[in-house]
Chains A and B, each alone.
Chain A
Amino acid sequence: MKPLIKVTHLFFGYEKKHYILKDINLEVKKGDFLAIIGPNGGGKSTLIKCILGFLKPLKGEIFLWGEPCERFKNWYKIGFVPQRAGDLVDKLTPITVKEFLFLPASWYGKKIKKEVMEILVEKFGVKEFLKKRLGELSYGQLQRAYIIRALILEPELLILDEPSVGLDFFSQEIFYKTLGEFYQKGLTIVLVTHETWLLTKWVNKVACLNQILFFHGDHESFCSFAKTPEFYSDYHKIEHSHW
């Protein structure tokens, strides 16, 4: 079976010869729960942006379901929760939560199943907010709305870029428990995170990124690798000039 994501010899940088990502090779297979970890500025979000076609790599290729990224059409198969989701939303934002959740249907020309919508709003506890403006939600409620929207078309792959930043520990627990339930039902997940406590709970694959991919493997191998001095050395080595 073809991997859902395959990245081969990927290089990316905003300036020539100043790479943020160097020779990245990565695969995400169906049923993976991959955590991408690494220091700030290590290129985690940049890698996600390349995979989703927001940034064009300088070298290398990205395949989604075996198709080159630039020719990939079935974007509805991917649910995405961006970093700092909701930063653009404020009190004036007039969209109701219901309008917001229906947006993917118009992006991709797909129908939203009523029962899927009902299950998601029930599970994430936003049923009573559906008619409210997005701008009236608290930060935690807003995060949940973004996650429901990412799941509304029943994607095969969910990509989340630091989704629990700003949530308290209790909310994080509930959030990841719910995410784990979707994973157990067959959803493949790629998660950019700094919350290493997660790695022992739900994740089965880990990728450590600091401009280069210095580890990519299963959870057990990562646990052994994390105890070695190389891990800390690679984790903290950042070549950005501003550091």
Chain B
Amino acid sequence: MQGLVESIELLKWGILSGIFLAFSIGFTSPFLILKRNALFPHALTHVLFLAIILLSIIPKEIPTIMEYPFLVGITLISASGMWFLRKVFGFYEDTATSIITHTALAIALIIATKSSQYDARLLSYLFGSIIGVTKEDFYESIIIFFLTLIFYAKFKSVWITQITDEEVPGIDFKLANFFFLILVTLQILVGIKLMGILLVSVLFVFSGSIGLKLFSGVDKVILSVALLNGFAILGGSIFSVTWDFPFSGSTVIFMLPYLLLPALRSALK
């Protein structure tokens, strides 16, 4: 028991950061799934991996404050690349996403190997590390949580409308979509430290799809996704500490039984 308490003390910033992140993602993941864009966060993680690797080889004189705009900028360029492939080449959405994802990953791996980062640091990028989450990361997750609330309050009706309509007279979808992209990018950026590039998108897909199956009404769905994600972070932490599993893997394993919830509800009905 004392070991568990000590471990929780060690992991507290990771757990707290994860819970705020889980709640933030509750506000975006149902919309990503409903827009058939569930693979989009996965693509963004690969793009961000490239951006992080690029950032690590840039001279240290560049101020830290420029890191976020740099990462968001790279993401926006890649998102524009996906748009370009769809509109100009006429590719399907998932094809365009796949091309950008793999290109970003390939370039990132080449740079990583050529810049002597092919070591434990690369592993921590790929699979995350709950111990590596600092107090500053926790503050970032709080800021992103409040940004999520602000963006949601501002663009809620447009995000919801896009589930049922392609166009509405007098309503500009572009601005709402732009801020949605920024928000998802920031959520992934914080999530990568915790869950790693390969598994952070799980937080956008598992709980979101279950919440959509279980509840009617957008607010109820969002609340359920936030809570399911929050439980997963707590459950993943306990699994991780108890059995010495990697945190990201434990979180995914903890989420797997969620898939039974719709069947359970049907049985109870």
Contact = CB atoms under 8 A, between A and B. Distances in A.
Interface of A: 49, 52-54, 72-73, 75, 78, 80, 82, 86, 88-89, 92-96, 99-100, 103, 106-108, 131-134
B170 A106 contact: no
Contacts of A134: 164
B157 A92 contact: no
Interface of B: 30, 33-34, 156-158, 160-161, 163-171, 209, 212-213, 215-218, 220-221
**A-B complex: 10 closest residue pairs judged by Cβ atoms:** A75-B170, A106-B157, A52-B169, A94-B221, A133-B216, A75-B169, A54-B167, A92-B212, A96-B217, A107-B171
Contacts of A132: 216
B168 A107 contact: yes
Contact of A80 (B169, B215, B218): B169
A94 B212 CA distance: 6
B171 A92 contact: no
Given A53-B169, A82-B166, A88-B164, A95 B217 contact: yes
A99 B215 CA distance: 14
A100 B164 contact: yes
Contacts of B220: 94
A100 B161 CA distance: 8
B151 to A, nearest CB: 15
Q: Which of A72, A80, A95 has the most CB of B within 10 A?
A: A95
A94 B218 contact: yes
A46 to B, nearest CB: 13
A131 B216 CA distance: 8
B266 to A, nearest CB: 14
A108 B76 CA distance: 29
A95 B164 contact: yes
B33 A88 contact: no
Given A82-B167, A88-B165, A108-B170, A99 B212 contact: no
A82 B165 contact: yes
Contacts of A52: 167, 169
Contacts of B163: 88-89, 93, 95
Contacts of A100: 164
A29 B218 CA distance: 39
B171 A86 contact: no
B215 A92 contact: no
Nearest to B211: A94
A95 B216 CA distance: 6
Given A99-B160, A103-B161, A133-B216, A92 B169 contact: no
